[in-house]
Structure 1
Amino acid sequence: MQESKVNINRIHSLYESLVKRHTSLDSTFHTILNEGMKAFNLSLGIISQIDGDSYALLAVSPEGKDLSAGQVFELKNTYCHRVVSEKKIISIEHAGSDPDFNTHPVYIGMKLESYISAPIWIREKVWGTLNFSSTQIKEVSFSKDDHEFISLMADGIGSLIEMNLLSVEKEDVISALSKNNDILESIFENSTIGMALVSPSGQWVKVNNSLTHMLGYTEDYLLSINFQNITHPDDLTLDLQQLDSLAQGNIPFYQLEKRYLTASENYIWILLSVSLVREDNGDVKYYIAQIQSIDERKKMEMELKNQKEALHEANIILERMATEDTLTEIANRRKFMLWFESEMTRLERHPVPISVALADIDFFKSYNDDYGHQEGDFALKSIAKKLSHTLRGQDKIARFGGEEFILLFPETDEKGCLLVCEKLRKSVESLSTLKRTVTISIGGVTYYPKEGVIVHFDDLLKVADSKLYEAKRSGRNQVKVVNLAVYQD
């Protein structure tokens, strides 16, 4: 469960790094590199671009005098040469013990022992690499989850770079639109993401193959409707508000995550980016829409959310199992000890009297013998509930074992302890839901803190148990309370 939680947390962190709006692509790269170094416990992260035999550093974390963004090396002199040539993830925990690595120029020059790298794919070819390394030997082998995680990171970086490339291409296209329509047509039709021209009324004017393939509609059908027809009702209002702000000139463009209805009658999540072209008189000529499917990312986000909720619920159940008595549904001895230690710590700062008491059901064995264990269990639960409801707000109760309960009374002196114990005793005696009248005997002890004196739980328990025995011996259905100092004297 702990490994699952680690994987969930680091995927969640990666998702936040990818969707967060950073001021620049370089800032996003550094955020992702820092997440990766933390996830793999390695000290160096690099995003590179491969151009023929050249290996250019796009982003380095942390940057130093030896390695910084902008530097270019020969690809053959890098560990990433294998990643590019084999087109797959490569990892090594102890390069010095591997003959394929210990004679490599990087190992000789930098002594990088641990290393993991994945190719960055853009437009169906290896565009660059993402890698993390350290001069320290990695004691634990890279796992399948590690390989899957760095693959997710590389895919995310590839998507960001491709979106950036498309954005640059879009701006170039818009600026040259009036002069060279052929360039626009080529990029529009061959774009790997959905693109469309939309009229001011929302009617699809032109759509590319990527969009029709994504949504499953024919081009003719899309051109016969407007975008409102396939937008999820819950997303439409915000989309129209953003479109109005764009038309009014309040914003230069907008991005929006929304849902489109596909031809198979399923909604998919898309990332919509919208800008516009105006007529010479300033009116909107048409909107330019870029539409990228993020359905898999949204599913991953939902799965992460579900896993986190399931983990939270499991932790609550485990906590209850560890601290709650399953029969009476009140605290168990372990939980009581946590309360006690907390109160004793508080007493060091604010010395006030504290009382502890043991309550035991009188003649409970005969009750079980006469009416059976099922009725006995019912009696235990009823008494536990009655005691819990009778206690003051600050008091604590736990099942101590068998038919015995232990009670903690913060800021309660000897007289207060006697009064509350008597109230508890009478409340049980008044129970009318049991087969016969049941009583309890209670033994209590009060401790008055003294500077330099340390009292342990066993000290109080021993005295409370002694007073409980005295109450039993005196005829039961009684309360006996004593000051710890008097008892010790």
Structure 2
Amino acid sequence: MNILVVEDNRVAAQFLVKTLARMGHTSQCAENGALAWAMFQSTPFEVVISDWEMPEMDGLQLCRLVRDYSDTLYTYFILLTAKSQVEDKVLGLQAGADDFLVKPLDSGELMARLEVGSRIITIHKQMANMVSSLHAAQQRFSELFLGLPIAGVTIDEMGRVQEWNRAFESLINLQGKMIYEESLLDTITPLEMRPELEKEIGELLEGKHISDYEWHFKEKGNVERYLLWNAIPLTSFNGTITGAIHTLIDITQMKRTEQQVRQYSEELEGKQKELWRVNALLHQQALTDGLTGLSNHRAFQENLNQEYMRAQRHFTPLSVIMADVDYFKRFNDSFGHPAGDEVLKTVATLIRDTARGTDCVARYGGEEFVMVLVNTDAEGAFQVAERIRKAVESFPWAMRPITLSLGVSALRTDSKSATEVLGEADFALYRSKQEGRNRVTLHHSSSDGELISAA
């Protein structure tokens, strides 16, 4: 991969460049964020590894600029920092960072992070190609629609004109008049037929098709006109009606063009559903951890904030469990990162199997996992955490025993934010590791200060 290294320490930068070269990557260096931003705009980079604190422009500012830059494909952004607090990670993730490397740098961890980045970049490229193909298909349809030998017009869910073709302009003699966002009824309906056609369009936008509806009316000069009206509703991926496509043809042209109209209409409906499907897939992948299949950090934060506000409104209990695989780095060093990935996937499965359907289970980052338990008080969450700990401890691991350290916190009447509840679970997790690991620690609070109970 082509990697931009942003590091104001020349020795550290050269070490990182040499390490990347040994891994088979090409890289360029910038000594500060401002220089890196200039280089990024002129040269495409798949990955940016940036120090956090630098003169002129720090890593967070650079990350925000990269995320807002719309002329490139997705760039995987890794922050290189000595900061390890939850609050610092949240700041980095909010700025758009994908991952973190903590100083001093470990080459094995660097390789693993880059492998994850490569997978994510590949997924983004595949999705971009799919979206591009769909847009091209829609463009081809628009060109076909414009050149159809019969009059065509589309409306939105309010009955307002959105698109029309040249045949429609000729049919109703627009003569350059702009009818976009105007009512279709105001555009084409003879006054004496308006009540009847209002009823037909109303039923159309409720899902009914209009088939071979014949208009017979007189234009100015007492000239009789016969038109045949067909229309079908357009639906989104989830079935919501978003508008309709209409065709108006002279009765003599109906038999020659009816089949072509249906084909084009079905193609448009199919392409719109496919676009909705791809967008739904993109949204799902943006909220899912690629390794474990659990919710990712972004999805967890959204869920925690939503459940926190719901619990505050309805005065219902809410708890958070944070878990960390004990001595995971040692395991990776001993058995390699592929084996470590298998451990993380198995731990994720054990946690998910213990959780209820209403609980949010997420990979917080690295070997850390987190759960949001709705309608669950501290005691109930402690019991869930203990079941998880026992499930991991008793699992027949192939290489060596694996254990979890866990921290539990619960919403209190004086809790100030979701971040505070999460921080208390993280603090309890820290105490579990301090007390010897493979244990659950419950965070309490009293007027005398913080109290921690463990089991």
Q: Scaled by the length of structure 1, what TM-score is found? A: 0.45
Whichever of the two has the greater Rg, that structure is 1
Q: Scaled by the length of structure 2, what TM-score is found? A: 0.48
